[in-house]
Amino acid sequence: MSRPTIADLRARTDLGEQLALLTAYDSAFARLAESAGIDLLLVGDSVGPTMLGLPSAIPVTMDDMLHHTRAVVRATERAHVICDLPFMAYHCSEDEAVRNAGRALQEAGAQSVKFEGGARWVPFVQRCVDAGIPVMGHLGPRGGQSSLTHGITTDRAMAHATRQLVDDATTLEGTGVWALLLERLPQEIAQAITAAVRIPTIGIGSGPHCRGQAQVMHDVLGLVGNTRPPHAVRYAELGETVREAFATFATDAKAGRLHERLE
């Protein structure tokens, strides 16, 4: 079985199917996610805080992203793998941006790249599309829209934010972005964007009206302690299960009775 192309994914959402996107950063969990039926695996720049012990995604480099994307691609064959372009991968020059996007496909085997931001990135998206690089957009506080969406208290502010974000979304769709990740947008805005575009909209913390839903793997699995964001849905408490397994092993090893478990 081959990986779905962006046309396959679009055809599925056109028929009303909802897509499931999960972040993935390594082979073992990517394989499990694919076998569980996850459609889209996003190697997110959240690899910084989740896997690399970094305080945020800011220090994550393009080389980090390629390294983790390769691991996810190697372990899977049916999922559509998206490589997040990290901070500074597309901010300095268009040439460098397109080259970095191309590296995600050529050197890591990703099917798409994702970038954060609105219509001001049209020239970069256009160059990627011209080069045949599928691009997912990402609208939300991290994409420079925080001043628009932060603490909307009046109808006027809501109307302004909605107009601006719908404009960004339709402009990006017009340039050839194949899908949009909508992160932590008020659900009215995510609904308005979804109604205004035909491409898949994948929401994370943006309400039920998108054409798919996303979660960060470590939140879903309960691997992040008590610091999960409000939109995170926890389906397991693996952190506690893993800690207990490690503690039992440590006790066995220190007591010299590990071999008893083999018998």
Q: What is the binding site for ligand KIV (CB under 6 A)?
A: 23, 42, 44-46, 84, 183, 204, 214, 216
Q: Which residue has the tokens 């085997």?
A: 109
- CB of 60: closest distance to ligand KIV in angstroms? 9
52/157 with CB nearer ligand KIV: 52
118/160 with CB nearer ligand KIV: 118
130/201 with CB nearer ligand KIV: 201
As a whole number of angstroms, the distance between CA 194 and CA 198 comes to 7
Query: DSSP secondary-structure letter at 54?
Result: -
List the alpha helices (DSSP H) in the chain: 6-14, 27-35, 47-51, 62-74, 94-106, 122-130, 146-149, 155-175, 187-196, 217-221, 238-254, 258-262
CB-based contact 138:116 (threshold 8 Å): yes
4/48 with CB nearer ligand KIV: 48
CB-based contact 6:112 (threshold 8 Å): yes
Query: DSSP secondary-structure letter at 173?
Result: H
CB neighbour class for 132 (10 Å; exposed up to 12, middle 13-18, buried from 19): exposed
Compute how many other C-beta atoms are within 10 angstroms of the C-beta atom of residue 185: 27
Residue 180: closest CA among 166, 200, 207: 200
Whether 244 is a known active-site residue: answer: no
Identify any residues that bridge with 138 across adjacent strands, giving them in sequence order: 117, 181
- CB of 120: closest distance to ligand KIV in angstroms? 19
23/149 with CB nearer ligand KIV: 23
Exactly one of 34, 116, 173, 183 is catalytic; name it.
183
Which single residue brings its beta carbon nearest to ligand KIV?
A: 44
- CB of 199: closest distance to ligand KIV in angstroms? 17
- CB of 42: closest distance to ligand KIV in angstroms? 6
CB neighbour class for 92 (10 Å; exposed up to 12, middle 13-18, buried from 19): exposed
- CB of 252: closest distance to ligand KIV in angstroms? 36
Which residues are catalytic, by number? 183
